[in-house]
């Protein structure tokens, strides 16, 4: 705007556009390098090494939960189950114990409910 020469204005505008384009390219390169960082090779190797261990721990936990489930089936006292619930540390254990408590309470309710009266045939 300070010059009246149109050719000089064009050169200035094209230089500004070129600077803006270069700045955009630098920003895009920075984003791409952050977005697509390669994974560390050692981290991937750690995952491969730890996978059998985590798999084994999961299997051990499933075995322990199955044993707990069998043990809970033998318990018929809600108070005893409540004590076990308070002592349990794992979510899955508490889940099984709560289910056993609900089952016992439902059985108690069914046992207390009077049987329906047979209706007379009409």
Kindly report, residue by residue over 83-104, the tens digit of the pLDDT.
Answer: 888 988 888 888 888 988 998 8
For the chain, what are the domain ranges? Answer: 64-111
- The pTM assigned to this predicted structure is 0.47
Please work out, in degrees rounded to the nearest 5, the angle formed at the alpha carbon of residue 36 by the alpha carbons of 22 and 39: 145
Q: Does the pLDDT of residue 29 top 60, yes or no?
A: yes
């Amino acid at each position: 705007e300070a010059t009246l020469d149109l050719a000089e204005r064009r050169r200035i505008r094209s230089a500004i556009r070129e600077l803006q384009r270069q700045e955009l390219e630098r920003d895009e390169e920075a984003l791409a390098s952050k977005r697509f960082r390669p994974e560390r090779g050692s981290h991937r190797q750690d995952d491969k090494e730890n996978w059998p261990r985590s798999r084994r721990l999961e299997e051990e936990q499933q075995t322990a939960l199955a044993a707990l489930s069998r043990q809970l089936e033998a318990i018929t006292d809600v108070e005893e189950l409540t004590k076990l619930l308070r002592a349990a540390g794992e979510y899955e254990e508490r889940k099984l114990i709560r289910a056993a408590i609900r089952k016992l309470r439902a059985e108690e309710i069914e046992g207390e409910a009077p049987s329906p009266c047979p209706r007379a045939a009409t």
